[in-house]
Structure 1
Amino acid sequence: MNDDHSRELYDRALSVLPGGVNSAVRAAIEPYPFFVRKGDGGHIIDADGNRYVDWVMGLGPLLLGHDLPESVRAGIQQKASEGPMYGAPAEVEVDLAEFVVRHVPSVEKIRFVNSGTEATTSAVRLARGYTGRNKIVVMQGGYHGAQESTLVEGDHENPKPSSAGIPSSFAEHTLPVPFNDEDAVREVFEEHGDDIAAVLTEPILGNHGIVHPEDGYHEFLREITDDHGALLIFDEVITGFRVGGLGCAQSEFGITPDLTTFGKIVGGGFPVGAIGGRAEIVEQFAPSGPVFQAGTFSGHPVTMAAGLETLQFAAENDVYDHVNELGDRLRSGLEDVVADQAPSYTVAGTDSMFKVIFTREGTGVPANAADVKNAETDRWRRIFWGQMRDRDVFLSQNQFECQFVSYAHTDEDVEATLEAYKEAL
């Protein structure tokens, strides 16, 4: 496989970009990543003309794939042709807000921002402002963007920043607990209940190999937060409008959080984030309340059009039936491959999310992030990923990021991918 142009591009990038990239995960592949020239349906074509089945889908935003349906493309192009942005409200942001409020059970009002990170940062600030409390409970291995309050590692007794540049005083207000560990959550509420503003969790951990909640776990979080006057925040940046269809993962689990953060699909592949929830809470955002939040590009009309056109197309067509059926076929086929060739490995996912976790013998299905971290992560990145690339399949760049099915993927893509797994494993 020729990759001369990608190598040249990476050499240039190293001179002007830190690590040669604009997001750290993109440099996970050694000795250098390939550079993408264009997308084509469920595929991408790199700078050297190599074509791959793409299961990364921009790390989740591309529900419809790279080739947008004509009606979706036309709606985006029309909005872009009317001017890039205005610094004033536009009708399309109201249209998208009404769509989300109509379909997501917990959302009565919503504020649009520009990224998942900005959404979770704003949600944490909002929870603190609404409750008058400081501490946030998070799940170890959960990812809520590049923000100071959640880039924290350790446990609730000894939290510390997981990145340089974050004062330890930020970490003091963050209480990490293992996902699916009810006893740990009870313990932090017993110790800090009067100062816990919120529990912040992904409905399904999506940045640690896909870890599902055990039966009753989310119901327990809903009950204990209610009992202590804290908020329950679901981070649906990954799962939103992918798991559970238009109702998002919360509808599939039957849980109504107080706040929900969104990103990725709600912007149709353009930069976006959002915070939605109970009206009395969301109205604490300025200008109707005392919690400051603002942004020049918030509610960007082209992004709002992309999100609205994408979700309306999904509502009016068989998008979720298609992607979920292919997801089921992938996971079923992968379970057969794994059972035959690597029986200790775990196939994880639901709806249009999937992943093979290289769990070690005797460890079982991962219940939390630590279980995934103890898997054969180096084998995934250093050997397996390259084997799949050699077979024209693009998977997420490490063991932890999940993979996604799009409306543009086909039965043939699934079959080709299963054959590649058979050979690579």
Structure 2
Amino acid sequence: MTIEDLVADLLTRQWVTDLFTELSERQRESAAISARVRGRSVGNHNFWPFHAPQFPLVTTGAEGSRIEDADGNSYLDCHLGFGAQALFGHNPPPVVEFVRARLGTGTGNGYLHPIEAELAELLGEFVPHCDKFAFLNSGTDATNAAIRLARAHTGRRLVAKFEGALHGVHDLAAHNTAFWYHGHPVQPFPEIGAEGVEPLPALTGVATATPAELLVLPNDTSAALELLERHRDDLACVIGDAVSSSFPFAEHTVPMIKAVSERCAQLGVPFILDEVLTGFRFGPAGAAGHFGIRADLYTYGKVVSGLGIPLSAVGGRAELLDHMQTTGLPLTDIGRKTCVQTTHAGNHLALAASYASLSLLREAGDAYYERTRAKVAKIQEHLAAFREETRIPLRLLGFGDFIGSFGFIAEDSYDDYRRFASAVNPIGLFLLTLMLRRRGVYTLSLPMFFTGDAHSDADIDELCRAVTDSALELDKHGFPFILP
């Protein structure tokens, strides 16, 4: 039976119909408001292609690990703004108070505020491998800016990225990104040839990159290194992440990325380490500090922000970042500088929220990471015992402190990106998400789990019960956990 046949069959089952009906009834007001917004506004994450939540919620309140919807339902939030608010949960009082004190006192955008110096100095304590920083609005902004800075520095155009890596939604990043954007493995993967992986944009409106613009590297260390050697004179940069949500096995990805980073240094090719997800999540210095990964530029997003106010950063070697900074003589800059600044980049409230949130992290110290790791270990022990008892292949795959997803998968670890993608059960992810919603756990459109100090030990117990009870319910209905 194909996945398409399985979906068609499942949608006719009474228990699935009952699940849909129950969620529709308990979220009537959310559904009504969503319909109103959908009629006039297209950009909300509730309507995001490939990642839109089923039966979207309209949230009316949030505190710590909890959100409330327009129907008055309360949920344990495991989504936490794509993990951006996972450090301390929604609206931590010290951060709220710090920002509130600056409301009505600053200019917002387009000016220089003293908080920028304070935040840059604080970030320098966390990531001393960065000489300077540029503050932007999103992870997409950050990776796009890093690529432009590398091109400005080298005068070259070719960018290399790894198959399956998520670096945002700008045109180069939209190529050969996470497998679910492409419909893999239901849709065939592109060929891997002598020139790497065939470039494949995931989004309509994105023209296929030319061989002069993009080199897509396979997740194979020796093949990647050989391609870099061959294209050394054309490469503006290589961008990679230590581990990603589409290939969440640091034991396999980190050695590959370290080898590529070291070869880039030997070849004189700038290397960009994307820490949008991993920054501050493998300890305070991120993946770079934890694993000893050198780079020329580093990109940060997600938890660098506070209160969900948009903020990202590019950090790294001064000689690359200085390509976007004035000499002090504007006429001298013409034709010799690049620019990634935008109207709202470095908004003083965003900088203030980040400073307050990261100050809390500095004060918490190593104890923060110890608490987070203990929570994740507790879940992993619970799931291991559950698998042993039931033979249901329920796992939590993830990395850092902590970014992950629950799912039904046969093995604990995969050393091949495409084999992992083929092992994922997308129907199981869809149904597990809805069954968790039924039990008061919110995970957006996939059973994602971001955590830090947001979740209490009681929250972790509640989550363990909800996810194992959901798996047992699926098993009762004869759900095929491992697809053929």
Q: How does 1:224-373 map to 2 (within 5 A)?
A: 224-244=263-283, 246-268=284-306, 269-288=308-327, 290-317=337-364, 318-342=367-391, 344-350=393-399, 351-359=401-409, 361=410, 365-373=413-421
Partner of 2:90: 66
Greater Cα radius of gyration, structure 1 or 2: 2
Deviation at 1:42, TM superposition (A): 0.7
**Residues 93-126 of structure 1: per-residue CA shift (max 9 Å, x gap):** 1111111112214211000011111111100111
Structure 1: distance between partners of 2:111 and 2:44: 36
Q: Cα–Cα, structure 1 residues 66 and 249, in superposed 2: closer, same or farther, change >3 Å? A: same
Q: Is the 8 A contact 2:65 2:89 kept in 1?
A: yes
Structure 2: distance between partners of 1:171 and 1:24: 30
**Residues 33-55 of structure 1: per-residue CA shift (max 9 Å, x gap):** 12222112111111111111111
Give secondary structure in 1 for the equivalent of 2:101: helix
Between Structure 1 and Structure 2, how many residues are aligned?
A: 416
Q: Is the 8 A contact 2:174 2:203 kept in 1?
A: yes
Deviation at 1:133, TM superposition (A): 1.8
The answer to which of 97-106 and 281-290 deviates more is: 281-290
Partner of 1:35: 58
Partner of 2:476: none
Give secondary structure in 1 for the equivalent of 2:278: coil
Task: Identify which of 215, 231, 246 aligns with 1:175.
Answer: 215
Structure 1 residue identity aligned to 2:386:
V
Give secondary structure in 2 for the equivalent of 1:151: coil
Q: Is the 8 A contact 1:236 1:262 kept in 2?
A: yes
Q: Cα–Cα, structure 1 residues 28 and 282, in superposed 2: closer, same or farther, change >3 Å? A: same
Q: Is the 8 A contact 1:258 1:277 kept in 2?
A: yes
Partner of 2:34: 10
Q: Could you list the runs of 5+ residues in structure 1 that have no partner in the other structure?
A: none
Structure 1: distance between partners of 2:251 and 2:214: 21
Structure 2 residue identity aligned to 1:353:
I
Deviation at 1:257, TM superposition (A): 1.4
Partner of 2:102: 79
Q: Cα–Cα, structure 1 residues 395 and 22, in superposed 2: closer, same or farther, change >3 Å? A: closer
Q: Is the 8 A contact 1:37 1:46 kept in 2?
A: yes
Q: Is the 8 A contact 2:406 2:449 kept in 1?
A: no
Structure 1 residue identity aligned to 2:275:
E
Partner of 1:391: 439
Partner of 2:167: 144
Partner of 1:197: 236
Q: Cα–Cα, structure 1 residues 252 and 167, in superposed 2: closer, same or farther, change >3 Å? A: same
Partner of 1:219: 258
Structure 2: distance between partners of 1:81 and 1:242: 33
Q: Is the 8 A contact 1:331 1:354 kept in 2?
A: no
Structure 1: distance between partners of 2:37 and 2:388: 42
Deviation at 1:390, TM superposition (A): 0.8
Structure 1 residue identity aligned to 2:205:
G
Give secondary structure in 2 for the equivalent of 1:283: helix
The answer to which of 217-226 and 10-19 deviates more is: 10-19
Identity of aligned residues (%): 27
Deviation at 1:285, TM superposition (A): 1.6
Deviation at 1:344, TM superposition (A): 4.3
**Residues 191-227 of structure 1: per-residue CA shift (max 9 Å, x gap):** 3221112221121113x26332526223211221112
Q: How does 1:124-163 map to 2 (within 5 A)?
A: 124-153=147-176, 154=190, 156-163=196-203
User: Are positions 1:375 and 2:375 aligned together?
Assistant: no
Q: Is the 8 A contact 1:203 1:213 kept in 2?
A: no
Give secondary structure in 2 for the equivalent of 1:165: coil
Q: Cα–Cα, structure 1 residues 300 and 20, in superposed 2: closer, same or farther, change >3 Å? A: closer
Partner of 2:227: 188
Deviation at 1:27, TM superposition (A): 5.8
Q: Is the 8 A contact 2:38 2:47 kept in 1?
A: no
Structure 2: distance between partners of 1:171 and 1:47: 49
Q: Is the 8 A contact 2:64 2:454 kept in 1?
A: yes
Structure 2: distance between partners of 1:39 and 1:170: 45
TM score, norm. by length of structure 1 = 0.90
Q: Is the 8 A contact 1:354 1:403 kept in 2?
A: yes
